[in-house]
Amino acid sequence: MPGYFPAVVLVILAALLQAVVVLCGGFPATLQLERAFPTSHWVELSQLRSRDRARHGRILQSSGGGVVDFPVEGTYDPYLVGLYFTRVQLGSPPREFYVQIDTGSDVLWVSCNSCNGCPTSSGLQIQLEFFDPSISSTASSISCSDQRCALGAQSSDSACSSQNNQCSYTFQYGDGSGTTGYYVSDLMHFDTIVGNSLTSNTSARVVFGCSTTQTGDLTKSDRAVDGIFGFGQQGLSVISQLSSQGISPNAFSHCLKGSSGGGGILVLGQIVQPNIVYTPLVPSQPHYNLNLQSISVNGQTLSIDPAVFATSGNRGTIIDSGTTLAYLAEEAYDPFVNAITQASQSVRPVVSRGNQCYLVASSVSQIFPTVSLNFAGGASMILLPEDYLLQQNSVSGAAVWCIGFQKIQGQGITILGDLVLKDKIVVYDLAGQRIGWANYDCSLSVNVSATLSPGKSEFVNAGQIGDNSSSRNARDSLILTIILGLLLHISVFASISIL
């Protein structure tokens, strides 16, 4: 027995080191978010509300290996009209397109040649492109009889042309904008990370939309991109397509930095962190609906009927990373604001442009209460004052902080946007039909899990691409934790055997 225990340790550690080599080759896709907008000017809450209102009309009425890396640009900043977008490479030879990352829709689509109404320039200072299927050697159209056309029909966004048997689509958004086009199948090319090396050697065939007409806000050039990258859960989403091909797991996660520098991480896969809590998705919904049950301020549950937050008809609670602010159902708004005001009596409340604000001469974290959003399954989302307040300006040396939550007049919809989601890991586990979150410093790297087969998972470190020391330290920490845990289990086993 005295000689057996060290031998067991050496054998298991040798096997573990072999496993560590495998750990560096998982499937999750890492999308690094970078800042793309200046911070030299302020935007009023009314402007942010207008932008979100258009966004809500869209998401609520829209029709329904190595590590894959999409280089994401753009930023969250509550005082700028920003968006997150990534570059995708499509066709043969591959061409690059800028597309907005949108969790409120399902389909990837890009502007195509001879597009009517498509912008030709962008205020984001990016070069707009147009996809031309005729010059891609791997492009093919989708016929009406193709089963992939039927996937689009499930969400009522595809139709068939009797003239050419071509599967087409129409997305009509609530803000008056829209796009029509047809579906094509072509190669999407990926940058992959193996260990700390970046290579471009992966591709997969996906179905995406070729936009031939755009109307409304989609025609404006101020925030124009080449298209929209839908991160929804329907069958034609790229997430679903890549998952069905074994390229990535049926999950994605993000961690948005709330600091003025912006940035963060977006991965195809599940970020693994011990403090993540999960709540189930409301089934059979086109968006990411959750069952919000109550709101607490300083530990005191507000007197709000839980039915206010329930999903029914045009009511419900939605998590949407594309919304700048946060929105409460009309019946919940006044109790929420009143509770914040009553718990913060050391500051002077003022009304600015219809918003409840406060004159603050010190740190808001020392004055304002903690808020808890309580969901089904016992999962609570803890909001610090910076997660529900926005600083607008200063008056006589005092900062003006306003409630960032807005009221949707006459509607029972609650939308949790980036104001709430920043500085948190948020995991969209589509395979498990749940969403999880944990407060986190999003400037740090993360570990991502990719499920390769039933009951088997691998982990890969994701974070700042090129920040080898950060990734190496996080990976070494994970390995050390595994080894120490293993030694503890072996020690316990040896003790039991001796007894």
Half-sphere CA count of 102, side-chain side, radius 13 A: 21
- Quote the CA–CA distance of 136 and 138 in Å, as a whole number: 5
C-alpha distances out from residue 434 to 31, 122, 448, Å: 21, 36, 17
Q: What is the DSSP letter of 473?
A: H
- Quote the CA–CA distance of 156 and 171 in Å, as a whole number: 9
Catalytic residue, chosen from 69, 102, 226, 418, is 102
- Quote the CA–CA distance of 43 and 58 in Å, as a whole number: 22
- Quote the CA–CA distance of 248 and 18 in Å, as a whole number: 23
User: Which contiguous run of DSSP H or E holds residue 471?
Assistant: helix 468-498
Nearest to 23 by CA among 495, 409, 460: 460
Nearest to 377 by CA among 287, 455, 316, 437: 437
Q: Is 102 a catalytic residue?
A: yes
- Quote the CA–CA distance of 124 and 74 in Å, as a whole number: 9
- Quote the CA–CA distance of 419 and 73 in Å, as a whole number: 19
- Quote the CA–CA distance of 410 and 136 in Å, as a whole number: 49
Report the residue count for the chain: 499
What phi-psi label fits residue 93: left (phi over 0), alpha (psi between -120 and 50 degrees) or beta? beta
Are 480 and 499 spatial neighbours (Cβ–Cβ below 8 Å)?
no
Are 88 and 70 spatial neighbours (Cβ–Cβ below 8 Å)?
yes
Q: Is 146 a catalytic residue?
A: no
- Only one residue has tokens 């978010």, namely 33
Are 117 and 212 spatial neighbours (Cβ–Cβ below 8 Å)?
no
Catalytic residue, chosen from 191, 226, 320, 418, is 320
Are 171 and 157 spatial neighbours (Cβ–Cβ below 8 Å)?
yes
Going by C-beta distance under 8 Å and a sequence separation of 6 or more, which residues neighbour residue 152? Answer: 107, 158, 167, 169, 183, 236
Lookup: tokens for 408: 């949707």
Active site residue ranges: 102, 320
